[in-house]
Chains A and B, each alone.
Chain A
Amino acid sequence: MTDRLIGVARGLLLPVLAFFTALVFGAFVIIFSDPRIVAMWTTDPLGAIGASWSAVMGAYGALIRGSIGDPVRLFGAIVALDGDAVRASFRPLSETILSSTPLILTGLAVALAFRAGLFNIGAEGQLQIGALTSVLVGFSITGLPMVIHLPLALLAGAVGGALWAFIPGILKARTGAHEVITTIMLNYVAYRLVDYSLKTPLYQREGRADPVSKFVEPSAVIPPIIEGLRAHWGIVLSLLAAVFVSWLLFRSLRGFEFRAVGLNPQAARYAGMSIGGTIVLSMMIAGALAGLAGATVVLGATRVLTPGMAAGTGFDGIAIALLGRGKPAGVVAAGFLFGALRAGSTPMQSATGIPIHLVVVIQALVIMFVAAPALVRAIYRIRAERALGTETFAKGWGG
């Protein structure tokens, strides 16, 4: 047990340091993007340092308050027994959970495929198709009780994503077409398919000229955890999906095959495993997870489908899988981190005027530092043997 704890701590060391380093670099971005502070450096260096400090603390403070909340305010509200105030002080956390829900699922979609040696760039498109199929089931069927309608709509999302991912899977298995190319291209097709569908009478809301879908029936809406806040029970679905992926990868026969094919396809073939079957199955399960992500967005957050909805969630999934080192628990943690950054960026902008794009810069820096473990080790002078940052969970891109 202690061995496992040490292992977990070692695994965390590098991502945590990468995140910290990214915040430090982000601080410089904040300072040097403020013309007032830059001008002060020549006239009043001491004042510039002070102004820099307060700008950085202001921005990061707003980011934290926007994503986690203000404990003082929460405590005050509870003491005052003010229900609305309590709810309001939970709002930042609720927004973080809301953003994290699809991010965890797309992160799992990338991580699972990566274990099988496939670089699934297509979580984005699979999410879009999942949203398209689940919203259809969500608004077109009426009169069903929620216990049937909601699972059906979620299932439709998973099936849609799985079928979309089946295409690159079968292409790779049958013809060797590289999944990086095919999934990227299918992302574009998926975007345009959503645009097109929303202009058809089947999807388009009556009386609207712009591409927007009909409203999801109340019986297919994922209920909120707390009435009045946007976080919904989809987060539980995401966490269950992480548990499922963990079981699948490490405790099931199929997962044994996924990992063997991902690490050494030749040995997998020697051992009697079907390489093509594994590629197709792992892509479809990955697609189902991404499709489910799309379903949680349209059934939980927006209740309608619009073009460009949740854009980038699939691509963030790649970053999350990388940051989470391909492990389901790591993906959950990284998903919450990215969710918090997303949720906190808008309050940060409104409170301090620092553009939300700072968060994108920080995210990008985190990924760069995670991708270059040698750099982080050099900065913090960690010896490679202790940091163990280069565990391989799949060989290359499975090309």
Chain B
Amino acid sequence: MKLELRGITKRFPGVVANEGVDLVVQPGEILGLLGENGAGKTTLMNVLYGLYQPDEGEILLDDQPVVFNDPGDAIAAGIGMVHQHFMLVPVFTVTENVMLGVESVSGPIRILDRAAARKRILEISERHGLRVNPDALVEDLPVGVRQRVEIIKTLYRRSDVLILDEPSAVLTPQETEELFGVMRSLVEGGTSIIFITHKLNEVLEVADRITVLRRGKVVGTTTPPETDKEKLAAMMVGRDVHLTVEKAPATPGDPMLEIRDLVVRDERGHAAVDHLDLTVRAGEIVAVAGVQGNGQTELAEAIAGLRTVDSGRILLEGRPIPESPRGVYAAGVAHVPEDRIEEGLVPGFNVAENLVLTGYWQPPYARGLALERDRIAADAGESIAQYDIRTPSAFNDIGNLSGGNQQKVIVAREFSRPVKLLLAVQPTRGLDVGSIEYIHARIVEKRDDGAAVLIVSTELDEVLGLGDRIAVMYQGRIVAILEPEEASLERLGLLMGGAHPEEHTAEELAAAAPGPRPEAPPS
């Protein structure tokens, strides 16, 4: 089915989210929709999916104008959407999730006909290589498989146009490759796909055409052979961007953070960090790569004093690290937490209050039982200027800032004092190219000031760009430590998937990515 958007304009009070957007997706085509956060990608897709009504412009399906008043209309017209955050019921089986809302029923009292649904699911999954067990509970499935369930859901509803919103954000490189295979199989069958992303290499790899949005407008449409990463980034940001992190070779000093035989348990009592050893020296950046859920979160929380250490030791400058978050802070550790809104900031507090969230309890911000509000306001003004935080004033609610500016607030707070160790978990997740460039530069600056830096990231570009050494974490252990020169995307991907560090073959690639996770390799 051919989909066309003509002159779509969507205004919200005070902002124009989309302005005269024209977009065409031909049958059997993958259109990459590229843009920074806040460029209007999501608004545009919500217009297409019937969640918003456009103020101007029209939607055409096979050259016929259509109006979608709600997602039901869009689904009925053959548009399917896979959201970034999955819309699945964890305690339902795959079959139940897929049929939810379009249940097949049989008999006079309309009993659910799971068998019929199951049969169609198996057909769809076979045709497009979407391997999934229809009887498995969704809560037991890894993220990659959950995504397949979401795609099956849309196909089950006979979608001709599929919208994928940042589908690779949660996947390993191998899982991403597999997703691309599915996407290619789908377009061969005549489905059109809109692939929303901010990852340049992915869009270059899989898209037939690429449309770039900036500030709500289409800045251009191009094809992969005509363009490259630098050109696309410049289109997105509106200026030239340094995609590679610029840094001098590290000059490592003495060990600053030493982790010895560390065991940390998760909420269910499993050893999420399983006898892990790692050393970070002053003046170097160690980047921990790994698929989400391999113990990185627990490792970072243990260092930060937020999670109890089961056994083993964490040493800072040779001494045991304090066991409370405040003790760790006072010992000179800066911590950029994994989730800025859930953990790093208090929405409802203003920018100034968030800037002192971790340091409010000591001078110069505290005097006796009272807060030094004048000092807090004055320092906030300075941080806003120094870290280029875009906010109307220091007294605006942090929740109203963009993701990039929120992260700058955390960076300003954590970097504005001399630190021995900088612990940054997913420091650029969900940020646009310009903000990533900025935050990377600040991290390198901290390293050059002599801090030991430990980065935990699932973004391989970030790991490769920032790390002076790269530690691959798999099932609670560091399975390999690589120099950046010896670490390729492919090799990292294999190691993250659990392949043996020494040798890796095509067979292992196939074995490592899908299906049940293999046992941890002996270390």
A contacts, CB < 8 Å to B:
251-254, 256, 259-260, 263-264, 266-272, 383, 385, 392-393, 395
Contact = CB atoms under 8 A, between A and B. Distances in A.
Question: Top 10 A-B pairs ranked by shortest CB distance?
Answer: A272-B326, A272-B325, A263-B348, A264-B346, A271-B357, A271-B358, A263-B346, A270-B343, A267-B346, A266-B343
Contacts of B326: 272
Contacts of A266: 342-343
B358 A272 contact: yes
A251 B377 CA distance: 13
Nearest to B14: A385
Given A260-B357, A264-B342, A270 B306 contact: yes
Contact of A269 (B325, B366, B370, B371): B325
Contacts of A256: 353, 360, 371
Given A267-B357, A272-B358, A260 B370 contact: no
Interface string B268-304: 0000000000000000000000000000000000001
Given A256-B360, A272-B324, A272-B325, A267 B370 contact: no
B335 A263 contact: no
B322 to A, nearest CB: 10
Chain A interface, >50% SS class: helix
B369 A267 contact: no
Contacts of A270: 304, 306, 325, 335, 337, 343-344, 358
Nearest to B330: A272
B52 interface: no
A251 B13 CA distance: 34
B369 A269 contact: no
A256 to B, nearest CB: 6
5 contacts: A253-B360, A253-B370, A264-B348, A270-B335, A272-B361
A297 to B, nearest CB: 30
Given A251-B371, A251-B373, 8 more contacts: A253-B361, A253-B369, A259-B348, A259-B349, A264-B346, A267-B344, A270-B304, A272-B361
B190 interface: no
A397 B179 CA distance: 41
B81 to A, nearest CB: 27
A260 B356 CA distance: 11
B347 interface: yes
Contacts of B304: 270
Given A253-B361, A256-B353, A271 B325 contact: yes
Contact of A267 (B345, B366, B371): B345
Contacts of B358: 270-272
Contacts, number: 67
B353 A251 contact: no
A129 B74 CA distance: 60
Given A270-B325, A270-B337, A272-B325, A264 B347 contact: yes
Interface in B307-361: 324-326, 329, 335, 337, 342-349, 353, 357-358, 360-361
A266 B307 CA distance: 13
A271 B358 CA distance: 5
A263 B346 CA distance: 6
B119 to A, nearest CB: 42
- Chain B interface: which size bin? 20 to 34
A268 B324 CA distance: 13
A270 B359 CA distance: 12
A264 B353 CA distance: 13
Contacts of A252: 369-371
A25 B348 CA distance: 34
A313 to B, nearest CB: 30
A347 B344 CA distance: 55
B342 A267 contact: yes
A272 B343 contact: no
Most B CB contacts (10 A, CB to CB) among A252, A267, A271 go to: A271
Contact of A392 (B14, B324, B348, B361): B348
Contacts of B343: 266-267, 270
A393 B348 contact: yes
Nearest to B342: A266
B370 A264 contact: no
Contacts of A260: 346, 349, 357
A64 B344 CA distance: 51
B399 to A, nearest CB: 9
Nearest to A394: B348
A122 B348 CA distance: 26
Contacts of A259: 346, 348-349
A256 B369 CA distance: 11
Most B CB contacts (10 A, CB to CB) among A252, A267, A270, A385 go to: A270
A263 B357 contact: no
Given A266-B343, A271-B358, A253 B371 contact: yes
Most B CB contacts (10 A, CB to CB) among A251, A264, A395 go to: A264
A260 B343 CA distance: 11
A252 B368 CA distance: 9
B325 A254 contact: no
Given A251-B370, A256-B371, A272 B329 contact: yes
A272 to B, nearest CB: 3
Nearest to B353: A256
B306 A269 contact: yes
A272 B326 CA distance: 5
A385 B13 CA distance: 8
Nearest to B340: A267
A271 B365 CA distance: 15
Contact of B347 (A263, A268, A271): A263
B422 to A, nearest CB: 15
A385 to B, nearest CB: 5
A160 B132 CA distance: 61
Nearest to A263: B348
A265 to B, nearest CB: 10
Nearest to B345: A267
B371 A268 contact: no
Contacts of B324: 272
A87 to B, nearest CB: 43
A392 B347 CA distance: 9
Nearest to B338: A270
Contacts of B366: 253
A392 B397 CA distance: 11
Contacts of B325: 269-272
B308 to A, nearest CB: 13
B303 to A, nearest CB: 13
A167 B337 CA distance: 34
B417 to A, nearest CB: 14
A395 B341 CA distance: 13
Nearest to B354: A267
Nearest to A247: B370
Interface in B55-114: none
Contacts of A271: 325, 357-358, 360
A162 B326 CA distance: 28
Contacts of A269: 306, 325
A271 to B, nearest CB: 5
Interface in B112-152: none
B392 to A, nearest CB: 11
A281 B371 CA distance: 18
A71 B357 CA distance: 52
Contacts of A393: 348
A174 to B, nearest CB: 17
Contacts of B342: 264, 266-267
Contacts of B346: 259-260, 263-264, 267-268
Interface string B385-425: 00000000000000000000000000000000000000000
Interface string B451-488: 00000000000000000000000000000000000000
A135 B305 CA distance: 48
A118 to B, nearest CB: 16
Contacts of A253: 360-361, 366, 369-371
A113 B342 CA distance: 22
A263 B350 CA distance: 12
Contacts of B361: 253, 272
